[in-house]
Amino acid sequence: MPKKIVLPIGPQHPALKEPASFDVTLQGEKVENILVKLGYNHRGIEKACETKSYLHDLYLLERVCGICSHSHSTCFLQAVEEIAGLDVPMRAKYIRSIIGEMERIHSHLLWLGVAAHEIGFDTLLMYSWRDREVIMDLLALLTGNRVNYAVNVLGGVRKDISEEEKGQILKAMDILEERTKYYIQICQEEITLIKRLSKVGYLSPEDAVRMGAVGPTGRASKITRDARAEDPYAAYGEVDFKVVSDDHCDVYGRALVRVGELMEAYSIIRQLLAKLPSTPLKVNAPRLIPAGEAISRYEAPRGEDVHYVKSNGTDKPERVKLRAPTLANVQAVSTMLEKGYLADVTIVIAAIDPCFSCTDRMVLALNDGKSKAGSELTWKQLRQQSIEWYKKNRGVDFTKVKLDIK
Partner 1 sequence: MLYERKGIQMENKHPVVEKIISAYPAYAESIKVQRPNRIWLKVPYGEFRKFLDFAASDLKTDIFCMLTGLDDKENYSFIYHMADLNGLVLNIETSIPKSDDAHIATITDAYPAADLQEREIYDLLGIKIDGLPDGKRYPLPDNWPDGEYPLRKDWTPERLDKKADGAQKEESNA
Question: Which of 36, 153 has the CB closer to partner 1?
Answer: 36
CB of residue 13 to partner 1, shortest distance in Å: 16
203: nearest Cα among 27, 334, 346, 326: 334
Q: Which parts of this chain interact with partner 1 (CB under 8 A)? A: 35-40, 42, 44, 46-47, 82, 85, 87, 209-212, 225, 227, 230-231, 293-295, 297, 304, 306, 308, 310, 319, 321, 323, 327-328, 330-331, 360-362, 364, 366-370, 373
Which of 293, 299, 294, 199 minimizes the C-alpha distance to 254? 199
Q: Is the CB of 170 or the CB of 243 nearer to partner 1?
A: 243
Q: Minimal distance in Å, beta carbon 58 to partner 1?
A: 20
Rounded to whole angstroms, the Cα distance separating 55 from 47 reads 15
In angstroms, give the least distance from the CB of 226 to partner 1: 10
Q: Which is nearer to partner 1, 370 or 394 (CB)?
A: 370
Q: Which residues does residue 24 pair with via DSSP β-bridges, in sequence order?
A: 7, 34
Nearer to partner 1, 82 or 160 (CB): 82
- Minimum Å gap between C-beta 328 and partner 1 is 7
Q: How far does CA 299 lie from the centroid of its chain?
A: 10
Backbone torsion region of residue 230, taken as left when φ is above 0, otherwise alpha when ψ lies between -120 and 50, otherwise beta: alpha
Whether the link from the prior residue into 11 is cis, omega within 30° of 0, is: yes
Q: Which of 173/328 has CB closer to partner 1?
A: 328
Q: How far is the CB of 393 from partner 1 (least distance, A)?
A: 30
Of the two residues 231 and 315, which places its CB atom closer to partner 1 in the complex? 231
Q: Which of 225, 248 has the CB closer to partner 1?
A: 225
Q: Report in angstroms how near the CB of residue 216 gets to partner 1 at its nearest.
A: 17
> From the CB of 281, what's the least distance to partner 1, in Å?
21
